[in-house]
Structure 1
Amino acid sequence: MTVHYDLYGEVALIRLDNPPMNGLSLAIRQAAVKALEQARQDPEVRAVVLMGAARVFSSGADIKEFGSPLAFQGPNLSQLIAMVERSPKPVVAALGGVAMGGGLELALGCHYRIATPDCSLALPEVKLGLVPGAGGTQRLPRALGVEPALNLVVSGDAVKAEQLAAIPGQRLFDRLAAGAETLRDEAIALARAGADAQAAGQPLPRLRDLPCSHPRADGYFHFARTLVKGKAGPLPAPVKAVDLVETATRSPFDEGMAIEFQSFRLLMESPESAALRHAFLAERAASRIADMPPGIRPRDVQSVAVVGAGTMGCGIAISLLQAGLPVTLLETKQEALDRGLASIRQHFETELRKGRLKPGQLDERLALLRGSLDYADLAQADLAIEAVFEDMGVKESVFRQLDAVMKPGAILASNTSTLDLDRIAAFTQRPQDVVGLHFFSPAHLMKLLEVVRGVQTSHEVLATAMALGKRIRKTCVVSGVCDGFIGNRMLDPYLRQAAFLLEEGCSPAEVDRAMEKFGFPMGPFRMSDMAGNDIGWYIRQRHRLERPEIRHSAVADRLCELGRFGQKTGAGWYDYVAGRRDAIPSPVVQQLIEQHRQAIGIVPRRVPEQEIVQRLLLALVNEGARILEQGIAARASDIDLVYLTGYGFPAWRGGPMHYADQLGLFEVAETMRQFAQAPNGDAVFWQPAEWLQRLVAAGGRFNG
């Protein structure tokens, strides 16, 4: 972590070097200030070029400093940018790779800017519950125009420099470089030209001095604010971003800067931003495996076999094909294979029709796909992923056949969502090469991939699984072996508690409404109907044999005995009309619930919405604590990431363990004890996990 200072004749080249993305940490800011001062005092230096090492300008502020004094400790980012802007010698920003957040704001403070055409620019602060805090909302509208700038600030999305350079009248770039190889030299030439212009009497150009207006400001900002409010939901940052861009059109520059900085500080203290920043850091942390020896290299995966051409198998195949990997899809019957191949083709044809694929890409992806009915055709695959029915006998048959035909060094992966991976590995002569790859349905859309590490899974195989997940653009979280791994293990008590709420007086719609109001896209009963109630029924039947001590409500079994398996049968916890997915409250289900209450002797009561939410969430939290205690998850943030990316937990709440930290763990444990003591309370269910009790005693947090 440093800043390099070099002289190229009369131009000082200052390079930010903080791998991997040149984050603007306090140490980098301090070193940059020192380098700028050195250039200012050197009479031989006429101009400065500011660029990043390793062809990356800067991804912005160091998010690890957010929420700590380091974020604002001098020189803070605004002070660094002000120093650049006030420089008596021209400063050129040479932008390559990425210029995002504070990195883009730093570039906006320079007098001149040059970028490679493929450089990605963004102000992504809204994705962390923030707004730009170092002039982004005040300088960018002056550089690009109000409407393009507002789109960038509110969306947080990255745009290539060549697209922004095409905006009529833009002042963001003085020129585009030919490419990364020539960026430095072209930037130095631009700096010399700037110094010559200054010597000829031209003032240094500053974005702050440009006018900023919109011809129909009142109507435009009213429209923008209404639109953004509808999309932002409970998040305050996007709407505040609209306010700040409007401020740029109505207030003097320095006044707008002060308002922006104050807004940034207030949002940084908000629970929504804390949760979104936690999620961002959780995703980074999840890729780190504590006991991975240095020097372990992933195996080369050039071809993959997928066993099972059902919905899950096809979704996995699509994910692999999208990453350019050849796939052999295996089935036992021609009809099932034909159906799977046709489903995959239909998916890509739909993508082409919607403009998400270029014409040539359809043929390229389908050329990578072949079907087979013979395990021998998988012999040369580097990896096989089993995606068959969730039954141990079926898994055993598949893995014994894979083990017999696949080459030495090939990896055998199971998509099991609940079964014991170590038992599956024991069906082979290569348990060290067996790993779990638990995709979530639909596999080509869902971001989460649970990478399940068996007792004998080798470090090399684990590293390969993580690398594959990254290649197919999944968020990978490592889990140990247990019933349901991280996500589904926690889902079990969540769904059991939801069923107990029906016994006590709730309707499915009341429970779902409470959780959807909290922020889930679906409550537990709508989710079960979508996934298929027969899946949960099968798991409960297995649990009664393997774990008879667990208490279940019989009401869900009664539902399945009626054949109400959810959307696929047109009836589940709700009724459904063909061709639509609207969940219609069912009088049949209400009658079933009432009869069940009478059979077990419960007089229904009105359950407050807050109790519904807390019972379901704390059921997740307590099981999460047990998972940490048993070492199934490496860290609490991994659990949060599983629920944020795989189960619809609202991002602005940060995940169940973060939510518990925000409540306070003493309060969490006390609330559990109150639930245990309530009429019909389950003392065993609500016993706080030992891990939770230890944290309470130490005054700690899950995410320390």
Structure 2
Amino acid sequence: MSQPVVDLDMTNGIAVIAIDSPPVNALGHAVRSALLDALTRAEADPATKIIILACKGRTFSAGADITEFGKPPRDPGLHEVIERFDQCSKPTIAALFGTTLGGGLELAMGCHYRVATDTARMGLPEVKLGLLPGAGGTQRLPRLIGPEKAVAAIVSGKMISAKSALADGLIDAIVTDPVQGAIDFAHTIDPKVTVRVRDRADKIAPAQADPAGFEQAAAEATRRLRGVEAPAACVNSVRNAFTLPFEQGLAAERDMFMHLVMGDQSRAQRHIFFAEREAQKIPGMEPGLKPAPVKSAAVIGAGTMGGGIAMNFANAGIPVTLVETDEAALQRGLDRVRDTYDISVKRGALPAGATAQRMALFAGTTDWSRIAEADMVIEAVFEEMDLKKQIFGRLDAVAKSGAVIATNTSTLDVDAIAHSTKRPSDVLGMHFFSPANVMKLLEIVRGEASSHQSIATAIAVGKAMGKVPVVVGNCDGFVGNRMLARRTTECERLLLEGALPQQVDAVVLNFGFPMGPFAMGDLAGLDVGWRIRKHRGVTAPISDVLCEQGRFGQKTGRGYYIYENGSRTPTPDPEVAALIEATAARLGITRRAISDQEILERMTYPMINEAARILEEGIAIRPSDIDVVWVYGYGWPVWRGGPCFHADLVGLPTIVERLAHYANTTGDVGLQPSDLLTQLAAEGKGFADFGKGAKAAAA
């Protein structure tokens, strides 16, 4: 690994300090030390009139080295480096390009001026790691763009374009070449007159006179962020920018940062940050194996799921052919895709003209011979094994040699599907989540014969689509749905024992999920689960009756809840409560009051238990993969780190004891603690120790 470098070039009175620490010019300890040294030498040289801070490579600095978080600090800290640029006796100009993030932007704001290329983007995304900008970002950004815009940017962590940055005052000029542009800009300023960002007051004065606008912006920014610590801390710290002197605001910012960085929520979010990247490392895969190029794709089935999957290809710039059995179904699918793009343009999520650009990458056909052109084919038809086998047999005859052939099944046996072809090594599962064009998770299901080449190609395509790929093994429900089935069983059982849908949903919402399980069932359609249960020969006493009554959820206006006049807001239904009570009585179950704590345990602990079994069987490679699946596919709150991370916080001995209790009280042997869970708890270990001498031999 190359050592980080900071170059210093002093020519014609202009000193250019350039960070050269690939790949993203992170501001680790060695870089910080070298920056201070270069700045000291440049400032001390009498010939130096202007100092330019630049970066080499493909981007300006992406910020702090987060591997240093939670470790003993090493001087000089980023605060000290920024303070030296801020206090420099000679004008400093930051030359931005690529992405300037976090500590990189804080360092740039410590300079007296900033220029950027027109494609540059900048932002303070620390909130996504459960933190706030801890090196002056919450104090300097409000002084540059105003507290209202600053709080929106910091709480969301979203990128700011160069155009918006110039309009708002974050940068001083847009240039063609970052360093030369900074040099040209330097000739337009008086080196004897510089104003430090900390001393600027014009943008914070309106909020000092009347904070109502800021408070409204802060409330809007945090409207959907209940229970999350970092956004609230960001708001408080930005507020300090116009209510406290700069140094006091800076000190308070640092205190809040230290509190957050040591807290469970930031630890959880940093865990997911690293887990997402770790998930793409596949044990045993040949070093240097390159994915096959995918220059065109085909999707079988133009329904809601097939159309959404096809949109992902188009969004990644890959031409895609939608294949249907008849022209009417094909046209409906293409119209649905076009309407979805139009809505995104109308909402501002896509630029004007995006619909035409994306639709130009679509082709529609009922001619299966067109599939022969595709490098990747994804089947997205109904969850019926016979139908899928028939389709894969047909694909085997028309798809070109070497093409990756994937099924979007959410539960079915990928190996059985693969063996409908003569090339099972090219077959795997690519399980997209609904809506497929929005949800980030992509479960890549490796079959017993799936080649590393096919897996690598699926991972690469998933990343190009903007998905988070996780490779999992082949079993009923894979990882996510297999665990979800355990929660679904407990949902039905809790109703019979004494809870109501609204109580269960409230507990799950309070935990941090965006929706409770019963409201989610109504949204997805209760008939979906009903069909699966009938196929498997299992029953759910409450849900089955609701479906028999035609109560499928939001699409019929009634499910577990009532949805009046097309509303999407669930309203408790006395008829459902009566049905639950009558069913419990018929089954001889005496209902009782159930505490919120018991509901929370039964909504999470059985899934954690199943996660341990999944690891025992080698279905998941590592516990963090399971966490990524649940955060990106099922709404598990990122600030709780996923089921396995959360289990370690709770403590496995507690979970083992409670599972044994529920197994005994319900008679469900499936709730008995798994061997791995019991082993880890007995050894005083957690999921974090899995793979460190604590995993089952089967994994």
Q: Verify same fold: TM over 0.5.
A: yes
The Cα shift of 1:253 comes to: 1.9
Deviations 1:244-280 (A, max 9, x none): 2332223322222111111211222333322222222
Deviations 1:443-491 (A, max 9, x none): 1121211111112211221111111112221121111111111110111
Mean Cα deviation higher: 504-513 or 487-496: 504-513
Match of 2:645 in 1: 658
Match of 1:701 in 2: 686
Match of 1:429 in 2: 422
- What is the distance in 1 between the residues matched to 2:411 and 2:180? 57
| Counterpart check, 1:127 vs 2:138 | no
- What is the distance in 2 between the residues matched to 1:600 and 1:150? 55
1:660-679 matches, cutoff 5 A = 660-677=647-664, 679=665
The Cα shift of 1:373 comes to: 2.0
Unaligned runs of 5+ in 1: 546-551
- What is the distance in 2 between the residues matched to 1:582 and 1:256? 41
Mean Cα deviation higher: 377-386 or 285-294: 285-294
Q: In the superposition, relative to structure 1, how do residues 117 and 373 fare at CA in structure 2: closer, same or farther (>3 Å)?
A: closer
The Cα shift of 1:436 comes to: 0.9
The Cα shift of 1:437 comes to: 0.8
Mean Cα deviation higher: 304-313 or 154-163: 154-163
Deviations 1:100-130 (A, max 9, x none): 1111111111233222122111112223332
| Counterpart check, 1:183 vs 2:178 | yes
- What is the distance in 2 between the residues matched to 1:666 and 1:575? 41
| Counterpart check, 1:61 vs 2:64 | yes
Unaligned runs of 5+ in 2: 690-699
- What is the distance in 2 between the residues matched to 1:355 and 1:369? 22
Mean Cα deviation higher: 288-297 or 610-619: 288-297
- C-alpha contact (below 8 Å) 1:93/1:110 kept by paired residues: yes
For residue 13 of structure 1, the aligned residue among 13, 16, 27 is 16
- What is the distance in 2 between the residues matched to 1:519 and 1:694? 29
1:163-178 matches, cutoff 5 A = 163-167=164-168, 170=169, 172-178=170-176
- What is the distance in 1 between the residues matched to 2:285 and 2:44? 48
| Counterpart check, 1:340 vs 2:333 | yes
The Cα shift of 1:553 comes to: 5.0
For residue 627 of structure 2, the aligned residue among 618, 623, 640 is 640
Could you say what secondary structure the match of 2:566 adopts?
coil
Q: In the superposition, relative to structure 1, how do residues 38 and 455 fare at CA in structure 2: closer, same or farther (>3 Å)?
A: farther
- What is the distance in 2 between the residues matched to 1:45 and 1:185? 17
Match of 2:694 in 1: none
Match of 1:114 in 2: 115
- What is the distance in 1 between the residues matched to 2:218 and 2:327? 55
The Cα shift of 1:493 comes to: 0.6
For residue 692 of structure 1, the aligned residue among 648, 663, 677 is 677
Mean Cα deviation higher: 690-699 or 467-476: 690-699
Query: Aligned pairs, how many?
Result: 683
The Cα shift of 1:586 comes to: 3.7
- C-alpha contact (below 8 Å) 2:152/2:217 kept by paired residues: no
- C-alpha contact (below 8 Å) 2:156/2:221 kept by paired residues: no
* TM-score (norm: length of structure 1): 0.91
AA aligned opposite 2:572: P
1:391-410 matches, cutoff 5 A = 391-410=384-403
Match of 1:680 in 2: 666
AA aligned opposite 2:142: P
Could you say what secondary structure the match of 2:75 adopts?
coil
The Cα shift of 1:190 comes to: 5.1
Deviations 1:339-396 (A, max 9, x none): 2222223223333444444454333333332322232221211111101111110110
AA aligned opposite 1:137: T
The Cα shift of 1:402 comes to: 0.5
The Cα shift of 1:411 comes to: 1.3
The Cα shift of 1:88 comes to: 4.2
1:99-498 matches, cutoff 5 A = 99-167=100-168, 170=169, 172-178=170-176, 182-188=177-183, 197-198=190-191, 202=192, 204-211=194-201, 213-215=204-206, 216-498=209-491
Deviations 1:559-596 (A, max 9, x none): 44444433334443334445233334344433433333
AA aligned opposite 1:175: A
- What is the distance in 2 between the residues matched to 1:193 and 1:121? 24
- C-alpha contact (below 8 Å) 1:3/1:31 kept by paired residues: yes
The Cα shift of 1:159 comes to: 0.7
RMSD: 2.5
Match of 1:630 in 2: 617
- What is the distance in 2 between the residues matched to 1:51 and 1:609? 55
1:606-617 matches, cutoff 5 A = 606-617=593-604
Match of 1:548 in 2: none
The Cα shift of 1:292 comes to: 2.6
- What is the distance in 1 between the residues matched to 2:222 and 2:181? 43
Match of 2:38 in 1: 35
| Counterpart check, 1:504 vs 2:497 | yes
AA aligned opposite 1:185: Q
- What is the distance in 2 between the residues matched to 1:488 and 1:680? 22
- C-alpha contact (below 8 Å) 1:448/1:475 kept by paired residues: yes
The Cα shift of 1:440 comes to: 0.9
Match of 1:549 in 2: none
- What is the distance in 2 between the residues matched to 1:174 and 1:364? 33
The Cα shift of 1:418 comes to: 0.5
Q: In the superposition, relative to structure 1, how do residues 48 and 701 fare at CA in structure 2: closer, same or farther (>3 Å)?
A: farther
- C-alpha contact (below 8 Å) 1:2/1:18 kept by paired residues: yes
- What is the distance in 2 between the residues matched to 1:190 and 1:571? 64
AA aligned opposite 1:101: G
AA aligned opposite 1:574: Y
- C-alpha contact (below 8 Å) 1:435/1:454 kept by paired residues: yes
